[in-house]
A = this chain, B = another copy of it.
Amino acid sequence: MFSYDPIGYVKSPYASTPQIPKGLGAKHETEGTLEILPQYEVGLTDIEGFSHLFVLWVFDRADGYELIGTPPTDSRPHGVFATRSPRRPNPIGLTVVQLLRREGRVLHLRGVDMLDGTPILDIKPYLSSIPQEQLRRGWLAEAESRASKEEEHAS
């Protein structure tokens, strides 16, 4: 068993889960901050140079897990490791955020999808992307394609 203490906490406008945009086409443009604990501030040195960061955090309000579940982006169930469900065996979240600016031990971000007060485990620089044309996105691409056909049909 591996144990971790938070390095800081998220400040976001989301007080409860239903407020977080979800489902196909959900935009994550929300601004918020990461407030790093004073003892770790020096670990942020030079982070300003990166436009994007990975944030690892705790789904601290998730309750247990389910190995198969239906995500908000689909009407069909999928394995938990093929989704971003909070109800995971190890409830750790991962978000790619845009770093707007740093003020001391506070990072101002765009793209926050965490609840206010979420504990942060780690921050890493986002160094490179897989080119979009090399990505296959399984059930999510299928759900998007079904949704756009239904839209066509309805119009």
Which positions in A face B, CB cutoff 8 Å?
1-7, 36, 40, 42-52, 54, 56, 58, 60, 67-68, 77-84, 88-90, 92, 94, 96, 119, 121-132, 134-142
Pick the contact of A45 from B43, B82, B137 — CB < 8 Å?
Answer: B82
Residue of B nearest to A50 (CB): B138
Pick the contact of A137 from B49, B78, B137 — CB < 8 Å?
Answer: B49
Tell me how many chains of this kind the complex includes.
Answer: 2
Q: Which residues of B contact A134 (CB under 8 A)?
A: 51-52
Q: Which residues of B contact A142 (CB under 8 A)?
A: 49
**16 additional A-B residue pairs with CB within 8 Å, beyond A92-B121, A125-B140:** A2-B60, A3-B4, A36-B81, A40-B81, A43-B68, A44-B79, A44-B82, A45-B67, A45-B68, A45-B79, A45-B82, A46-B139, A48-B138, A50-B138, A56-B92, A92-B122
